[in-house]
Amino acid sequence: MAQDADRRWLSIALGLIVAYMAVEVVIGFAAHSLALISDAAHMLSDAASIVLALVAMRLAARPARGGYTYGLKRAEILSAQANGLTLLLLSGWLAYEAVHRLLEPPEVGGGLVLVTALSGVVVNIAAAWCMSKANRSSLNVEGAFQHIITDLYAFIATAVAGAVVMLTGFARADAIASLIVVALMIKSGVSLVRASGRIFLEAAPAGFDPDAIGDRMAEHPGVVEVHDLHVWEITSGEVVLSAHVLVEVGGDCHTVRQGVQATLREEYGITHATLQVDHAPSPFAGILAGAGAGGAVDRHCEDPHGTVHHRGPHDH
């Protein structure tokens, strides 16, 4: 199973990170390096993000039952949002510490920092490679992967800082490296929070234009109008659509429904579409476009949501 493979790769990456993090904490304190300690803190969040991703995957795999009619698929999105918020909170603490060390730089063991950071680059490349084998279309896995990638960049910045301190004695390079890490953490954190927030707010998935989809549905033979159109994601990549479709008087509602669902499946990849299909009231027979909200729509929906899509005057 693909999900079992994902869990295996995530578990391997977790083992690499936890083992190296323990070593880095000891060396960071020995070398008085905030950059190394901040990297270790970030690696702790990496480990937590992977554990959270693994837990979320298990919850999401549970079948729907009881009041959870979609199952627990949103657990993966909660995990992604938690990862994003963790990155933002850590970046705030590290930024504060980095500014403090810019003002009062401590002595830093540059050589020790350089060697540790270079070995960290190797470990993070290995962990990132393992994570890349998992399904990154899942926002949950992507959240954990972003933690790893940000940490990889952080180690590169720390290695540069260690080299600068060792060659020039410029101790503030360590704090500057930490600020670079902070900037990367903020970028990844904001991206994850925004993407997960769109799913929680039931926004249309990226790349899906509800108005264009509604217009395309209204073009289908026999369709007079489409309204109450909603497009959202249950979890990453699981797009759902619902809509109210009015069919011309005398039309075959069953055939129209099958045709519209086939269009949604073939052109948009939407395989879960719930359509309420009704015949348009007789006043629509001579008005194929431009019906007012006080006409046919009111007879079917007390409060129609969003844009009303009519069949164009040249569609037959």
Residues 99 and 240 in one domain: no
Residues 154, 301, single domain; the answer is no
Determine the Cα–Cα distance for residues 74 and 232; give it in Å rounded to an integer: 12
Is 135 found in the same domain as 56?
A: yes
Residue 205, in any domain of the structure: no
Q: What is the pLDDT of residues 213-267, one digit of tens each?
A: 999 999 999 999 999 999 999 888 889 999 999 999 888 999 999 999 999 999 9
Q: Which percentage of the chain shows pLDDT scores above 70?
A: 85
Cα–Cα distance between 237 and 316 in angstroms, integer?
34
Q: With contact defined as beta carbons under 8 Å apart, do 154 and 184 qualify?
A: yes
- The model's pLDDT over 193-207, given as tens digits with 9 standing for 90+, comes to 998 999 999 999 988
DSSP H or E segment with residue 273:
strand 272-279
Query: Can you give the pLDDT at residue 316?
Result: 46
Do both 137 and 244 map to the same domain?
Answer: no
Q: At what angle do helices 172-200 and 139-168 cross, to 10 degrees?
A: 170
Look at residue 64 in the predicted model and tell me its pLDDT.
Answer: 78
List Cα–Cα distances, 164 to 97, 108, 113, 157, in angstroms.
Answer: 20, 11, 10, 11
CATH code at position 301: 3.30.70.1350
- Of residues 7 and 5, more confidence is placed in 7
Strand runs labelled E in 189-254: 223-235, 238-247
Q: What is the mean pLDDT of residues 146-165?
A: 82
Could you read off the pLDDT of 83-135 as tens digits, one per residue? 888 888 888 988 888 888 788 876 766 777 788 778 888 988 998 888 888 77
Q: Whole domain around residue 30: which residue ranges? A: 2-200
Based on the fold, state whether residues 71 and 102 are members of the same structural domain: yes
Say if residue 36 is in the same domain as residue 71: yes
Let me know whether 159 and 177 are in one domain: yes
Q: Is residue 160 part of a domain?
A: yes
Our count of domains for the chain comes to: 2
Distance CA 164, CA 190 (A): 30
> Does 316 fall in a domain?
no
CATH code, domain carrying 59: 1.20.1510.10
